[in-house]
């Protein structure tokens, strides 16, 4: 009897050892059908079956369950139930597809704008992923990350179709797509109808950036491009100026990335005209006043439902005696109901009296009586441009922009941005710039001071070729925040692109856009990958089991 029990126990232990060996080899080799895995796994199955047969025979011979046998069966049953619960829970979590993004670069979650664009899709978009089937670690990483990212996108729309292709094998498909160049690190092609965009993956860490994908998706979904003209001839910030600090080229690149067409526009005095295909006119930091003929053309443009964005740098000359800003500022006030102040917003609470950070913090506004739900910190909650804004703006200097007291009839104007209560609009600009010391005088407007205004003007739908019922304008009391050296700040970028989306009546694009954050991947050899998998899975479990077994044997010896 004891001999049979020893044989049964020996078979059980040998079966467990064989099973452990099979699992260790499976994790290490990652090949289930390898003989190194199948042989010990088969041995474990045979030994386990023999142990079970001997156990049943012992039960039949005794015609009753011994305490230890009953306990063993109970433990076996409990373990099986627990394993089943774990499997069901795992399947539930997998089907739930929920995750927490703990990565520094935010790779496990989509930006609100990407989700918004995906959910608003009403036509099918095909995504062709061309990755060469070569034994290259960086290419494999780029391919896997691209497919995982696209799987995330497909959760928000059934209209996104993804296909993985090898450019060396599917050459005919490439030619049919009219793709003349593919990268060895990967090429992504988005197509919807006749519109198509190509994203080429390059660099030391190639991957499909969310910003590039979202911009390409917007491009292929838009049936018509919005044309944006940048006024020239008044020493404005140049659209093609690539100066790393003061240039305006990045703004142009960002707009083109979101499917806007950008062009410079010089209004000729001899033949004044704004093209009829113009959707938005941008006046970016002019240093000279506009000619009366130019004012008339702008007025006619607004009459036919035009859209206008004006960025006014506060450090430009504002002396009315020189006639620098008389006509332009008067037009904004009389026609748009927006008053641009001849001042500089400043404070005496910091060492940098002209620098202003606009945030969501409501604490500085607790003493200011405002309509409930109108603002969140410095940002308006009523207007689409800033309603869901969750970032900060940093102005090195800014002037006041407010709603004119005698606004034209029918004009609806709203404040977008405001300062904290400890700022005011300083009218003695020359003294402030010379002394760098701020002191408020009687009569100067105390904060919160408005810094940006959006206005809507009703127009006759029958008198404009685009059939619009209103004209729109946004004026901001600063221009440097849109220059190359500052626009890369996420808050600046999103505020500007949200403004363009509202002006072009593309409210579905108003959201926080994805950033281009990057982190270098850690490249591991196959041996290192297997070692990490084995340590994290098998070694941990076996150490816990070994500790439990040691405790059991010690207790048994001393009982």
pLDDT tens digits for range 418-435: 998 989 998 888 777 777
Highest mean pLDDT among 9-13, 52-56, 492-496: 492-496
Alpha carbons 64 and 10: distance in angstroms, whole number: 23
Alpha carbons 353 and 426: distance in angstroms, whole number: 11
- For 209-219, the pLDDT digits (tens) are 888 888 888 88
Find the range with the poorest average confidence among 78-87, 170-179, 304-313, 443-452. Answer: 78-87
Find the range with the poorest average confidence among 118-122, 212-216, 291-295, 527-531. Answer: 527-531
Find the range with the poorest average confidence among 94-108, 196-210, 256-270. Answer: 94-108
pLDDT at 521: 54
Residue 235, helix vs strand vs coil = coil
Highest mean pLDDT among 1-15, 418-432, 472-486: 472-486
Instruction: Write the DSSP symbol of residue 459.
Output: -
Confidence check: pLDDT of 324 > 60: no
Instruction: Write the DSSP symbol of residue 356.
Output: E
- For 141-153, the pLDDT digits (tens) are 888 889 999 999 9
* DSSP letter string, 261-279: EEEEEE--SSS----TT--
pTM, to two decimals: 0.67
Whose CA is closest to 390, among 361, 367, 427, 352?
Answer: 361
Strands (E), 329-485: 338-340, 344-347, 356-358, 375-376, 379-380, 393-395, 401-403, 412-418, 423-426, 450-458, 470-476
pLDDT at 514: 61
Backbone angles phi, psi at 293, to 5 degrees: -65, -40
Mapping DSSP onto H, E and C, the string for 178-190 reads CCCCCCCCCEEEE
Highest mean pLDDT among 250-259, 414-423, 526-535: 414-423
Helices 210-221 and 112-119: crossing angle, nearest 10°? 30
- The DSSP bridge pattern shows strands 280-284 and 307-311 to be parallel
Confidence check: pLDDT of 97 > 60: no
Alpha carbons 299 and 356: distance in angstroms, whole number: 33
In the block, tokens 């059934």 appear at 158
pLDDT at 232: 94
For residues 311 and 285, the answer to whether their CB atoms sit within 8 Å is: yes
Find the range with the poorest average confidence among 101-105, 244-248, 328-332, 345-349. Answer: 101-105
* DSSP letter string, 116-170: HHHHT--S-EEEEEE----S-HHHHHHHHHHHHHHHHHHTT-TTEEEEEE-TTT-
In the block, tokens 């701020």 appear at 438
Distances (CA, A) of 39 to 11, 23, 32, 33, 533: 16, 11, 11, 10, 22
How many CB atoms neighbour CB 149 within 10 A?
19
- The residues that bridge with 164 in the sheet, in sequence order, are 129
Distances (CA, A) of 111 to 118, 205, 273, 359, 520: 11, 21, 40, 20, 21
Cα R_g (the chain), whole angstroms: 34
| Residue 320 pLDDT grade (very low, low, confident, very high; cuts 50, 70, 90) | very low
Q: Cα–chain-centroid distance for residue 307?
A: 27
Highest mean pLDDT among 124-128, 253-257, 503-507: 124-128
Classify burial at 271, counting beta carbons within 10 Å of its beta carbon; exposed 0-12, middle 13-18, buried 19 or more.
exposed
Percentage of the residues of the chain whose pLDDT score is greater than 70: 83
For residues 392 and 306, the answer to whether their CB atoms sit within 8 Å is: no
pLDDT at 181: 78
Q: Kindly state the tokens that stand for 427.
A: 């009218």
Find the range with the poorest average confidence among 328-342, 442-456, 481-495, 514-528. Answer: 514-528
pLDDT at 317: 44
pLDDT at 47: 82
Confidence check: pLDDT of 102 > 60: no
Find the range with the poorest average confidence among 114-123, 243-252, 523-532. Answer: 523-532
pLDDT at 179: 80
Confidence check: pLDDT of 322 > 50: no
| Residue 86 pLDDT grade (very low, low, confident, very high; cuts 50, 70, 90) | low
Omega cis (within 30) before 448 = yes
Alpha carbons 521 and 346: distance in angstroms, whole number: 45
């Amino acid at each position: 009897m004891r001999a049979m029990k020893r044989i049964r126990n020996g078979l059980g232990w040998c079966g467990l050892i064989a099973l452990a060996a099979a699992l260790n080899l499976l994790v290490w080799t990652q090949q289930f059908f390898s003989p190194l895995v199948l042989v010990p796994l088969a041995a474990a199955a045979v030994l386990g079956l023999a142990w079970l047969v001997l156990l049943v025979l012992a039960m039949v011979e005794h015609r009753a369950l011994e305490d230890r046998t009953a306990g063993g069966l109970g433990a076996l049953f409990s373990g099986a139930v627990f394993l089943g619960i774990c499997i069901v829970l795992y399947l539930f979590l997998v089907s739930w597809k929920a995750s927490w993004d703990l990565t520094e670069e935010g790779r496990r979650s989509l930006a609100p704008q990407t989700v918004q664009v995906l959910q608003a899709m009403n036509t099918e978009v095909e995504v062709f992923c061309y990755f060469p089937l070569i034994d290259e670690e960086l290419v494999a990483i780029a391919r896997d990350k691209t497919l995982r990212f696209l799987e995330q996108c497909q959760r928000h729309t059934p209209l996104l179709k993804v296909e993985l292709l090898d450019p060396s094998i599917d050459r005919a498909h490439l030619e049919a797509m009219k793709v003349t160049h593919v990268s060895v690190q990967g090429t992504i092609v988005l197509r919807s109808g006749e519109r198509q965009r190509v994203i080429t993956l390059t660099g030391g860490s190639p991957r499909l950036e969310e910003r590039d994908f979202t911009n390409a998706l917007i491009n292929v979904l838009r049936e018509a491009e919005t044309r944006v003209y940048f006024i020239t001839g008044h020493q404005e910030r140049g659209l093609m100026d690539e100066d790393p600090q003061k240039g305006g080229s990045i703004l142009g690149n960002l707009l083109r990335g979101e499917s806007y067409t950008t062009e410079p526009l010089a209004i000729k005095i001899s033949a004044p005209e704004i093209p009829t295909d113009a959707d938005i006119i941008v006046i970016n930091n002019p240093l000279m006043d506009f000619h009366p003929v130019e004012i008339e053309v702008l007025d006619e443009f607004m009459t036919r439902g035009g859209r206008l964005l004006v960025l006014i740098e506060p450090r430009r000359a504002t002396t009315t005696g020189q006639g620098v800003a008389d006509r332009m500022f008067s037009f904004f006030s009389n026609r748009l109901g927006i008053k641009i102040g001849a001042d500089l917003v400043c404070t005496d609470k910091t060492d940098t009296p002209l620098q202003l950070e606009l945030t969501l913090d409501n604490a500085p506004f607790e003493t200011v009586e405002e309509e409930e739900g109108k603002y969140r910190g410095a940002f308006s909650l009523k207007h689409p441009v800033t309603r869901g804004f969750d970032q900060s703006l940093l102005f090195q200097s800014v002037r006041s922009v407010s709603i004119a007291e005698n606004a034209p009839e029918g004009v609806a104007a709203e404040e977008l941005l405001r300062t904290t209560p400890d700022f005011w609009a300083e009218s003695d600009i020359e003294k402030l710039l010379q002394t760098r010391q701020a002191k408020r005088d009687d009569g100067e407007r105390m904060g919160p001071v408005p810094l940006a205004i959006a206005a809507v003007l009703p127009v006759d739908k029958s008198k404009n070729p685009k059939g619009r019922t209103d004209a729109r304008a946004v004026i901001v009391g600063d221009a440097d925040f849109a220059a190359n050296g500052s626009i890369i700040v996420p808050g600046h970028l999103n505020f500007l692109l949200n403004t363009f989306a509202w002006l072009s009546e593309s409210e579905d694009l108003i959201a926080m856009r994805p950033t281009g954050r990057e982190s270098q991947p850690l490249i591991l050899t196959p041996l290192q990958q297997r070692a990490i998998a084995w340590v994290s899975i098998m070694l941990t479990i076996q150490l816990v089991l070994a500790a439990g077994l040691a405790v059991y044997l010690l207790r048994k010896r001393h009982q």
